[in-house]
Structure 1
Amino acid sequence: MKSQNYILGFDIGSSSVKTSLVEAATGNVVASAFYPKTEAPIISLKPGWAEQDPQMWWENLKLGLASVMREAGALPANIMAIGISYQMHGLVCVDKQQRVLRPAIIWCDSRAVPYGDRAFQELGADVCLPRLLNSPGNFTASKLAWVKENEPEIFERIDKIMLPGDYIAMKLSGIVNTTVSGLSEGMLWDFQNHCPASFLTDYFGFSQTILPDVVPTFSKQSVVSKEVATELGLCEGIPIAYRAGDQPNNALSLNVLNPGEIASTAGTSGVVYGILDKINYDKQSRVNTFAHVNHSAEQTRLGVLLCINGTGILNAWMRRNIAQELSYSDMNELASGVSIGSDGVKVIPFGNGAERVIQNKELGCSIHGVNFNNHTKAHLLHAAQEGIVFSFCYGMEIMRRMGMDIHKIHAGEANMFLSPIFRDMLAGVSGATIELYNTDGSVGAARGAGLGAGIYQSAEEAFATLAKVAEITPKENLRGHYLEAYAAWKEVLEQSIK
């Protein structure tokens, strides 16, 4: 057994739970694991619905924890803190005994759209936008409104609602709490009054007692309970010292904390996330504004989030249904033989629920311009990646109009950013340099916990070992071709959403 001190980071995704064990002194990752080894199931009882069993997250966390402790030969007594990253906008409901009352309604579930739209219309944009910075939309508060109307017997039994990360912290500690950043992503934080959004909970008919207590993002939020320490093979009293939604946490993991800095991910869904130091919002809520991990009443730090649901999931669908015999690397190699613009084939990638960037419309994925004589599997694979990139750029146009300066994008070397086609195309269309770093959400969560527990005294110390592994600059000689292909794709999209 080794005697170094470690920090644990958990990333509760919709595809898997990732666990990383980080050496506190060096910031080096000594072990990591993810479970399940195939994509976690999403329950979809009706079109547009998406649910998961929270107990599944917990069971996969236990598997990952056991794996990293075994791989590193770490002593339980040397775990100094725990940090949690989680899929955003979910709804977990528990009773007074902290028993889950129904499957979690997760981020890509679109059933709550009408509830958020009605609240926005009846409360008014002049109330919602300055206070929530968004329409209530398809977020956690609106999902709870759906439960209240459609499952009243469950609603009556709810003691607390939580986000997925709050649930994991509750399982570890027996304590229910949340953060300002968490409440803001659920449309439950009032930025004008710096308190929970009573005007919206009153409108929906929720008591504010249903909300967890608020704790600072970087702090000793709770500690591992004796019972759970026995279950997990850890020590009682380890502080849970940080939690954040996956996109604010991804920005933290890339050391994106200050105005003008940009972070991106391209996993199941895709995100561009930039930091503002003043209150601002998109009047149509096509991109969303939340409290960043370092936001406070004294220091405005807001994350402007562009989310595209149909990103890596489109590439995975192409593999399952079009290219079963190929690896992702093989798919990239095949697609690389196709020119910019995919010889006229265009893919609109919105097949994973309602898309905020097109005002919560649910277009579905569509493929345009296929010629049976000329086009091949390679064209479909290339056009799919173009469609993902172009949807990013469509949203980035909105962010630029809000005052966001997008000239450099920080990202982890993972998921779609492993694809040379995707990287070159994103740099080419956006005009931004892409910097790739060797990190991920679970590592970021561990470093965040190091800050929250006082192991690190500053972000500079916490991220001193963050390593840049690649830089992709726009190819100026191809810029015109990329922009021409984007304009043609955008024309098809705008015809589709009329």
Structure 2
Amino acid sequence: MYLLGYDIGSSSVKAALIDAETGKCIGTHFAPESEAPIKALQTGWAEQDPSCWWSYIKESTAAIIAKSKIDTADIKAIGISYQMHGLVAVDHNLDLLRDAIIWCDSRGVPYGEKAFNEIGAEICLSHLLNSPGNFTAAKLCWIKENEPHIFDRIYKVMLPGDYISFKMTGEISTNNEGLSEYILWDFSTNSVAGFLLDYFKFPHSILPDIRPTFSTQGILTSKAAAELGLHKGTPITYRAGDQPNNALSLNVFNPGEIASTAGTSGVVYGVNDIVAYDKQSRVNNFAHVNHSASSPRIGVMTCINGTGILNSWIKRNIADSSITYDDMNILASKVPIGSSGISILPFGNGAERILCNRQIHSSFHGISFNTNTRNHLIRAAQEGIVFSFMYGIEIMKEIGLNINKIHAGNANMFLSPIFRDTLASVSGATIEIFDTDGAIGAARGAGIGAGIYRDNNDAFATLRQISTIVPAQDRTPYLEAYALWKDRLVHELSIS
């Protein structure tokens, strides 16, 4: 008996097949081999063709089935994780109307801010726990105001995971966690935020039907099964945005538990059992995968858009083309903590929530042409990413979250010893690294939704811890480097 999980990212789509009884991963595959293209038609814009996601899913599925040689009838459930806040629009014929506006696109900022100011901070924060900001509803408003010929033809809007579920099942649905990504979930009434739909003048019918996160979202149609090489009728039983799903993947379900990722973007995600918010709306609050009105579970998230993308930019433009990421880590280790006074602000991938949706771009500070080398820049980039995490963690602490332990997967920036040691030492938190990822987590989530597992403890009983990273005994060099970085950030904010 097997479970299949997909993680639909902006860089790639990954599929994972696990043995439901042992929890062992049977096989994984991601596509494309190089990073998926993102269209940037203007500064601050980011779009992708949703049909490409479907192609990558087909490629990944075929590779796993060929490698594992299992009978696909033994796959009992499918789970889907996806890049959050994307906007997919289809017409009454269920055809795509335009490319998806994805998570790091910042064109919705003025519309979200206008709504926040006109509706009022008190109503938005007490009901939505966020400013409408640059989330999916604000992106839809951009279409309404700038592409009315498209808006008028919209039958339904979907998040990326909703769209993939629709391609698999023919049914258009979402859940309360997904609607909170739109910033269209009213936590005070535990229902769709009708007042925000009315403010934007969106027809209420534009939203998908609502299903529980852990439930049958539909079953594979014969057409989808044929395209994917899977068994007709296989149920899709779980769907969540990538950051709530990453927390699930690390068995983070309850208050005080923290998960982190550092891929293209970087995230620290904690679970709160009280409905609380930052008065400046610098952190994001979403319904966690196990949220309910009677037992609140709010995912409090700080997201840095320019994380792994800064590291890959350094690799492409500063490091030699033959150098690997492992080589970069070795080069960075040759210079001292603090990179001899160089600070890099990693905010070059769109507006940043922790900066009140300001877009200040990336900047390099303190470079000496006589003494600094590329090694300093490589280390300063990793440290700058960590320090941006710490800046967000300080905001999270202001609203009552305790962050003493961080769970993370063994992937992306967490493969770097410098990144891990810097994060542990500047935050004072112990980091626990686990052998899992978003696609494996989505497969386990599908097992919960299908009733194969009793609960999350049953589903994650076999989750394997790889390593533990503790803060340095002397944290002073890390804290001094962070203080300098923060001073330079404050200066940039004051002049931007």
* Alignment correspondent of 2:424: 427
2:81 aligned residue (73, 79, 85): 85
**Partners in 1 of 2:311 and 2:229 — Cα distance?**
38
Question: Secondary structure of 1:330's partner?
Answer: helix
Question: Secondary structure of 1:461's partner?
Answer: helix
* Alignment correspondent of 1:340: 337
| Pairing 1:240–2:225 present | no
Question: Secondary structure of 1:497's partner?
Answer: helix
| Pairing 1:369–2:383 present | no
Aligned ranges for residues 150-229 of structure 1 at < 5 Å?
150-229=146-225
Question: Secondary structure of 2:205's partner?
Answer: helix
**Partners in 1 of 2:232 and 2:193 — Cα distance?**
35
1:463 aligned residue (460, 469, 477): 460
1:355 aligned residue (352, 356, 377): 352
User: What's the offset of the Cα at 1:325?
Assistant: 2.5
**Partners in 1 of 2:369 and 2:230 — Cα distance?**
59
* Alignment correspondent of 1:12: 8
**Partners in 2 of 1:222 and 1:280 — Cα distance?**
34
* Alignment correspondent of 2:323: 326
**Partners in 2 of 1:24 and 1:420 — Cα distance?**
32
* Alignment correspondent of 2:488: 492
User: What's the offset of the Cα at 1:64?
Assistant: 0.2
**Partners in 2 of 1:169 and 1:296 — Cα distance?**
23
**Partners in 2 of 1:231 and 1:354 — Cα distance?**
38
* Alignment correspondent of 1:104: 100
**Partners in 2 of 1:175 and 1:328 — Cα distance?**
42
**Partners in 1 of 2:346 and 2:456 — Cα distance?**
36
2:248 aligned residue (226, 232, 252): 252
**Partners in 2 of 1:154 and 1:75 — Cα distance?**
43
**Partners in 2 of 1:13 and 1:201 — Cα distance?**
28
**Partners in 1 of 2:287 and 2:488 — Cα distance?**
34
**Partners in 2 of 1:125 and 1:157 — Cα distance?**
32
Output one character per residue of 1:213-245: Cα deviation in whole Å (capped at 9) or x when no partner.
Answer: 100000111111122112222121111000000
Q: What is the RMSD of the two structures over their aligned residues, measured on CA atoms? A: 0.6
1:123 counterpart letter in structure 2: I
User: What's the offset of the Cα at 1:166?
Assistant: 0.2
TM-score, length basis structure 1: 0.98
Percent of aligned pairs with the same residue? 62
* Alignment correspondent of 1:36: 32
2:143 aligned residue (115, 130, 147): 147
2:20 aligned residue (11, 20, 24): 24
1:394 aligned residue (383, 391, 400): 391
**Structure 2, gaps ≥5 residues long:** none
Output one character per residue of 1:117-169: Cα deviation in whole Å (capped at 9) or x when no partner.
Answer: 00000000011001110000000000000000100011011110000000000
**Partners in 1 of 2:111 and 2:279 — Cα distance?**
18
1:284 counterpart letter in structure 2: Q
Output one character per residue of 1:255-293: Cα deviation in whole Å (capped at 9) or x when no partner.
Answer: 000000000000000000000000001111111110000
* Alignment correspondent of 2:268: 272
1:307 aligned residue (303, 307, 310): 303
Figure out how many residues of one structure are paired with residues of the other and give that number: 493
**Partners in 2 of 1:482 and 1:358 — Cα distance?**
22
Question: Secondary structure of 1:227's partner?
Answer: helix
| Pairing 1:448–2:435 present | no
On the 8 A contact 2:6/2:16 being kept in 1, the answer is yes
**Partners in 1 of 2:112 and 2:4 — Cα distance?**
36
Would you identify which runs of 4 or more consecutive aligned residues in structure 1 move more than 2 Å? none
On the 8 A contact 2:61/2:229 being kept in 1, the answer is no
**Structure 1, gaps ≥5 residues long:** none
2:322 counterpart letter in structure 1: E
1:338 counterpart letter in structure 2: V
1:129 counterpart letter in structure 2: L
**Partners in 2 of 1:283 and 1:380 — Cα distance?**
35
**Partners in 1 of 2:228 and 2:103 — Cα distance?**
28
1:212 counterpart letter in structure 2: P
Question: Secondary structure of 1:96's partner?
Answer: coil
**Partners in 1 of 2:32 and 2:45 — Cα distance?**
22
1:190 counterpart letter in structure 2: D
1:471 counterpart letter in structure 2: T
Question: Secondary structure of 1:134's partner?
Answer: coil
**Partners in 2 of 1:470 and 1:203 — Cα distance?**
49
On the 8 A contact 2:410/2:434 being kept in 1, the answer is yes
**Partners in 1 of 2:85 and 2:224 — Cα distance?**
26
User: What's the offset of the Cα at 1:24?
Assistant: 1.1
1:66 aligned residue (54, 62, 65): 62
Question: Secondary structure of 2:133's partner?
Answer: coil
**Partners in 1 of 2:68 and 2:222 — Cα distance?**
23
User: What's the offset of the Cα at 1:74?
Assistant: 1.3
Question: Secondary structure of 2:362's partner?
Answer: strand
**Partners in 1 of 2:151 and 2:95 — Cα distance?**
13
**Partners in 1 of 2:233 and 2:155 — Cα distance?**
25
On the 8 A contact 2:245/2:438 being kept in 1, the answer is yes
**Partners in 1 of 2:6 and 2:461 — Cα distance?**
21
